[in-house]
Amino acid sequence: MEKITYKGWKDCTRVSNALVDLVVLGEAGPRIIRFGFVGEENEFREFPDLLERGDSGAWHVYGGHRLWHAPEHLVRTYAPDNSPVEVRDCGDFVRTIQPVEKSTGIRKEMDIHLHPSRPSLTFLIPSRIARRTSSSGIPVPPCRTSGVSTAAASSLSLSKRISNLPS
């Protein structure tokens, strides 16, 4: 895990297993802005013309993978994620922790695991929320409020012809 700048973002964390790398934003999020083979194209979509920064209170399309609430709801899903997040090195994974969203009363966290020798990452959304009902009265989908159980998990693997890949 190393601190880097990435395409104008000054506070980013890069994690690599020498095969693939990912970049997590510290200035906004929680968001993975890059995932791809080292030195190659980002597999996530980037929107360089839409990289407005600042706490404008508006939702911005930055690109990458953004953690959002389901089922989709205009206020809850598109709450601006323009505020800095805490990025923690947890040994074998990186945890991002967002401040409580003003518009929803919800705090989002994401645990990001990069496989040690394969082009694969897994992101887990722990079952921890700041409140069960948002400040705007929008119900929050049920989940545990403490512990380390996982509310959701997703995996993403990249593939291409690679010789000498460990089994």
- Going from N- to C-terminal start, the domains of the chain cover 2-157
Q: Residue 54: which pLDDT band, with cuts at 50, 70 and 90?
A: low
Given a cut of 90, is residue 4 above it in pLDDT? yes
Average pLDDT over residues 9-29: 93
Instruction: Tell me the whole-structure pTM to 2 decimals.
Output: 0.77
Alpha carbon distance 81, 12 (integer Å)? 15
Q: Which residue has the tokens 């948002």?
A: 134
3-state helix, strand, coil in the chain (%, to 5): 5, 35, 60
Summarised one tens digit per residue, pLDDT across range 112-129 is: 999 999 888 887 876 555
